[in-house]
Amino acid sequence: MYAINHAATALLIKKNNPEVPLFPLLISVQFVEVLWVFFNYFGWEHFSVYGGRVHLDFLPYSHSVFSGVAAAVLSFCVINWGYKNKKMAIAFAIGVVSHVIIDVIFHEKDIQLSPFSAKPVLGLGILDYPMLNFIIEFAYGIFCWWYFKGSKSLLWVIIIFNILDLPMMLAHGDALTPFVKYPFILPSVILFQILITWYFVYRYAHSKNDKNGSVMEEI
């Protein structure tokens, strides 16, 4: 799943935990993705390109079921005992786990149960069908917006970022050559997407449309 729709998941959690600020929730839903970015920079995890498509193949430290649960438990402990905020600790942990659950649905079979066992690997493989992937992600993003009862501006953020993902979803063959030549590009693109969707979702989740349709800041 692409950054905008992981970010949209934070809206679901926020709606159910109104007293928890949105920003930590936006971090929680992308926590393991940020790890993936840095593990790729360090060379601990890697992707590859073959058969004309990108395959994430080696990501057991950031994206296994075990590491997702471990990251959730660890963040729960830090926030609950370090910051004495149980509600935020639970909501944050849910956000961390949500990422792995969603990725199991969308990824190819590349998510291990733990970093210690190469098999079995999980993944329903929706990413292999770009248009189906686009439609499901788009519908999911809109659902999150609807559930959150967000502003029109927030809806546009979700629509525009989903459409901007299409070239990445459809990219294949020679279009992927830069990723092979310069492996830092893919994690950098993903890091950029994470940061920019954090900003826009946060910015427009806190606004509502007035009668004239222009954006007002919520106090």
Stretch that binds Zn ion, among 8-16, 33-41, 66-74, 167-175 (CB under 5 A): 33-41
- Footprint of Zn ion on residues 4-23 (CB under 5 A)? none
Q: Which two structure tokens, joined as six digits, stand for 17? A: 């935990």
Nearest approach, Cβ of 171 to Zn ion (angstroms)?
A: 18
Closest residue to Zn ion using C-beta atoms: 103
CA-based R_g, the chain, Å: 18
The pair of structure tokens assigned to 66 is: 């075990």
Q: Which stretch binds Zn ion (CB under 5 A): 29-37, 41-49, 129-137, 154-162?
A: 29-37
What sign for the dihedral angle of Cα 150, 151, 153, 159?
Answer: positive
* Burial classification of residue 143, based on how many CB atoms lie within 10 Å of its CB (0-12 exposed, 13-18 middle, 19 or more buried): middle
Asked if residues 7 and 26 have their Cβ atoms less than 8 Å apart, the reply is yes
165 binding Zn ion? (CB under 5 A): no
Closest separation in Å from C-beta 32 to Zn ion: 6
Complex with Zn ion: residue 33 or 165, whichever CB lies closer: 33
The amino acid at 3:
A
Which residues in the 89-148 window bind Zn ion by CB under 5 A? 103
What CA–CA distance (Å, rounded) separates 178 from 95?
Answer: 32
Of the candidate residues 8, 25, 31, 33, the single one contacting Zn ion (CB under 5 A)? 33
Q: Which residues bind Zn ion (CB under 5 A)?
A: 33, 103
